[in-house]
Each structure stands twice: as structure tokens, then as C-alpha cells.
Amino acid sequence: MSTHVRRAPAKKALPHPDLREIPVHLVLRALGEPLRLGIVRSLARAGRPMNCSSFGLSVSKSTSTYHFKVLRESGVISQFEEGTSRYSELRETELEQRFPGLLTAILAAEEPAAAE
Amino acid sequence: MSTHVRRAPAKKALPHPDLREIPVHLVLRALGEPLRLGIVRSLARAGRPMNCSSFGLSVSKSTSTYHFKVLRESGVISQFEEGTSRYSELRETELEQRFPGLLTAILAAEEPAAAE
DNA sequence: GCAGTGGTACGTTGAATCTCGTAGTACGAA
DNA sequence: TTCGTACTACGAGATTCAACGTACCACTGC
């Protein structure tokens, strides 16, 4: 017999790595891809969790799932489910603690006029 | 009839990209590889140009040539020839100007005890 | 001249990465 | 229940990357 408790449309957490165990080259590699860097830029601009589908990425759904997974597994973002959709959020504070100044410097970088 | 001028064992320059044209994700990708990051760490520690063969890399000669080329083409290092060997040097000042704080933050990052 | 040193260029191989389609789950609304 | 939405997991193909061996070049010393 199962419980009567009805789950609230709760934030269900997903497994996230401990940032202390992430070597810096993994983070660099994760951000060394234009699409993923764009996602991170959007998240930083927004300053709050964003629905995966609200990025307007010009790739298929499965491709964006893949990139979000890479970002999550390298400790850059965290994700949680709420209702029917999944939200992503920059792990800004933790990143700043683990790699001081790194994210700031990357986000501050301007793209060249003709970005390759 | 050719010239009598004997070339001094001059620093012959190699082609290097203009950092203003380098998007940040290229630099991140270049540094997102453990071997290349190790090279950059060594150069930063040394604080002066280093002979390619003095890094003690545990890969073949052609592999290290490949990695040095990647670093050079992404604007991270410069190389010049002097006599019979080729020296590599961090483009520290230029990088700091183009991406303020980036290199510092990356070099400051400590590796986890059990780096993957 | 010849051999050794220090490096590049090229081609290849195997692994990783990126992209996608398909199929499937979980939820909310009609 | 049926539909649509939002997303995942899996498998496959194409492309890129990392590592290597070989051949080669330029220079030094004998």
C-alpha cells in the first residue's frame, strides 16, 4: 500500500559532481565549445535558472540535452526538475570558490568582430 | 652572386595569430587538455622562453610538436628559433590584455588530490 | 664528407566528440 | 484516456582529436 502523500511539484535534484574533484581542464574543455559557452553566457546574463527550451538553440533537442549534460558533469551548471520541465542554473558561487576569478574572466571576454 | 652577410644565429619568428582575432573559446579549448595545460604551467613557472625539449614530456616528438602548434595557433604561446632549437614563450602580457584575469585564474587553480 | 641533434610535415590509426533520429517517460490539460 | 509538451536515453554516423612512426630538413661537430 502506497503513501497518500502527494508530492508537491517538487524540485527534483539530479546528480551533480563535487566541484572539489573537478580538475580545471575539465571546466575549460566544457567551456571551450561555442554552443556551451553561449549557454553559460545566457545563464549568467539571466542570473536565474532557465528552462532548457528557452535558450533558442539552433540544434536538435537531443543535441542540446547532450551539451547540458556535459556542462552538468563538469560542474558548471546544476539542473533540477520542476513540473514538466528542467531548469538549468549556473553554479556561480561554487565555481567562484573553487576557481576564483575564472568565470568572471571568461564572461568578460569579448568576441572578435569576425568570430571564427 | 649571393651575399656575403652571414646571418647571426638570429631569432627567426614564426607566424602568430593576432590575439584580437582569437575568440575565448579557442583559448579555453587549447588549455582544456592536460598535457597542454601542463606546458603552460611550466612556462609560467619558468617565466622565460623554454626549449621545447626541456619539458620532459612523456610523448613522442611528433606529438609534442602537435601540441605546441595548437598552443601557438590559439595565441597562447609564441615560438622562435634560435640556433638549432626552438623556444616557446607564454604570451602572458598580451593574454592579460585580451582576456584580463583569465590566465591568472587558470594557473591559480589547484588540482584535486585524485585528478582524473 | 658523415653522423648526431632538434625539430617539422605527412599519413594513419584509434578514441573521443558532436549531431541527429527514434523511442520512450512523465506530466498537464482537454 | 488521449493528446501535446518537455525532456531523456540509446544507438548510429560523421567529424575531430591525440598519439605515433616515418621521412625529412637545417644545423653542429667530428
- Report pLDDT digits (tens) over A36-52: 999 999 999 999 999 98
- Identity of the residue numbered B51: N
State residue B82's pLDDT score. Answer: 82
Q: Judge contact between A70 and A26, C-beta under 8 A.
A: no
Higher per-residue confidence, A5 vs A64: A64
Mapping DSSP to helix (H, G, I), strand (E, B) and coil, where does residue B78 land? strand
CB contact under 8 A, B24 and A106: yes
- Distance CA(B104)–CA(B106), nearest Å, equals 5
* pLDDT over 60 at A2, yes or no: no
State residue A102's pLDDT score. Answer: 97
* pLDDT over 60 at B116, yes or no: no
Spanning CA of B65 to C1' of D24, the rounded length in angstroms is 15
Angle between helices B24-31 and B34-46 (to 10 degrees): 100
Which of these, A99, A79, A101, lies nearest to A90 by C-alpha position? A79
According to CATH, what is the number of the domain B14-106?
A: 1.10.10.10
Q: Judge contact between A80 and A11, C-beta under 8 A.
A: yes
* pLDDT over 60 at B7, yes or no: no
Buried b (16+ CB within 10 A) or exposed e, B12-23: eeeeeeebeebb
CB contact under 8 A, B29 and A26: no
Residue to test with chain A: of B27, B28, B71, most A Cβ within 10 A: B28
pLDDT in tens, B47-92: 999 998 889 899 999 999 999 999 999 999 999 988 788 999 999 9
What is residue B12's DSSP assignment?
A: E
First to last CA, chain A: 60
Contacts of B67 in chain A (CB under 8 A): none
Query: Across residues B9-20, what is the average pLDDT?
Result: 75
Listed by start position, the domains of chain A span 20-106
* pLDDT over 80 at A61, yes or no: yes
Residue A13 pLDDT class (50, 70, 90 cuts): low
Residue with cell 576569478: A101
Percent of chain A at pLDDT exceeding 70: 85
According to CATH, what is the number of the domain A20-106?
A: 1.10.10.10
The DSSP-derived string for B19-39 is GGG--HHHHHHHHSSHHHHHH
Residue A54 pLDDT class (50, 70, 90 cuts): confident
